[in-house]
Chain A
Amino acid sequence: MPEVNSANAAEVLKIRETADRVLAQRHPEILLTVRGAIAEVLGREEAEVQPSSSLMNDLNAESLDFLDLLFRLESAFGIKIPRGGIQRATQGSLTEAEFQQNGVLTEAALERLRILMPEVDPGRLQTGLTAREIPTLFTPETFTRLVAWRIGELEAEKAAGS
């Protein structure tokens, strides 16, 4: 876990911890289902969808495929990925200008991504990365984390409601 000493980082740390907690118990199972869903969406064999394959660079996914994948994950896991939820998680309380300058991610944005996406090689989350390049970082592990975060939130809601 990276050292956290800013309010910005503390905000995403909660999401990271929620996902970590679920993954500690269910990582292999969630990853398997996610890889299966990706294989179906992209018309690939499951063996081609490796945990760290870049969906866009290695498997030729397009934005349309990501949408299809989100719907499949929602029904496969019984979760909701609320509209704007992913953007709220990545950008948080940062303003547009605090998040990116002319499309290039700020240090504050990179700090958030390093916490939210521990599966990504930190060497890629460096100065110069653009907002448009973020989807090229997505791998089956990324979506496994997304699912785990939503499962964790759902469990917390249920616990609070009961």
Chain B
Amino acid sequence: MRYLLLDRITEMQPGAYAVGTKCAAMSEDYFADHFPGFPVVPGVLIVEAMAQLAGRLITYSVAAAEGGEKVLPVLLTIQNARFRHFVRPGETMVIRAELTGLVDGAGRCKATAQVNDTVVATAELMLGFDTGSGAGVIPPQARATLAQWAEQVNRNLMGDTPVPGEAKA
């Protein structure tokens, strides 16, 4: 998948926060055009990386809170996105998502992206999932395929990162 924008999830604390990394390799195709002679990671892709991490955090948080089927979060809102510094090829972003709220059908996260000790971007994201009020509901015919795909992506991302409260498989 071209736009899987996390390389690894390194910390997962359901109900609290998650940390992941993304290395901006010179071979990323977008560097050719963004921008010629001045390659920088597009801000929207940093937000997408945050959203992907926030989605995993929400899935684990809902599972920890009440168990049952794993929810599939989809992005509903992006607020207060700020792009503070450029991210250049060869740099590694450490993305952190903090859960700030969980209600019926949605979770909210504050996210930051850092390169070394510099915060390069911050945003607040809301993701909906397939229970509750109707926003962000995944069509039933797509659910099984998506769930299977999400599970596989998740396994690759998580590696052997421990999840508190979860029995090791």
Contact = CB atoms under 8 A, between A and B. Distances in A.
Nearest to B105: A67
Interface string B61-105: 000011000000000110000000000000000000000111111
Interface stretch (B26-34, B37-45, B126-134, B138-146): B126-134
Interface in A60-87: 62-64, 66-68, 70-71, 74-75, 81, 83-87
B134 A63 contact: yes
Contact of A67 (B66, B100, B133): B133
Contacts of B103: 67, 70-71, 74, 81, 83
A66 B66 contact: no
Contacts of A85: 104
Interface in A9-43: none
Nearest to B133: A63
A71 B102 CA distance: 8
Interface residues of B, number: 19
Contacts of A64: 76-77, 128, 135-136
A83 B126 contact: no
Contacts of A63: 105, 133-135
Contacts of B56: none
B133 A68 contact: no
Nearest to B65: A83
B31 to A, nearest CB: 34
Nearest to A67: B106
A84 B132 CA distance: 8
B108 interface: yes
B24 to A, nearest CB: 31
A83 B66 CA distance: 10
Contacts of B134: 63
Contacts of B102: 83
B65 A67 contact: no
Nearest to B106: A67
Contacts of A70: 103-104, 106
Q: Which 10 A-B pairs have the closest CB atoms?
A: A64-B135, A63-B135, A67-B106, A63-B134, A63-B133, A70-B103, A71-B101, A71-B108, A83-B104, A64-B76
Interface of B: 65-66, 76-77, 100-106, 108, 126, 128, 132-136
15 contacts: A63-B105, A64-B76, A64-B135, A66-B133, A67-B104, A70-B106, A71-B106, A71-B108, A74-B103, A75-B101, A81-B103, A83-B103, A83-B104, A83-B132, A87-B104
Interface of A: 62-64, 66-68, 70-71, 74-75, 81, 83-87, 135
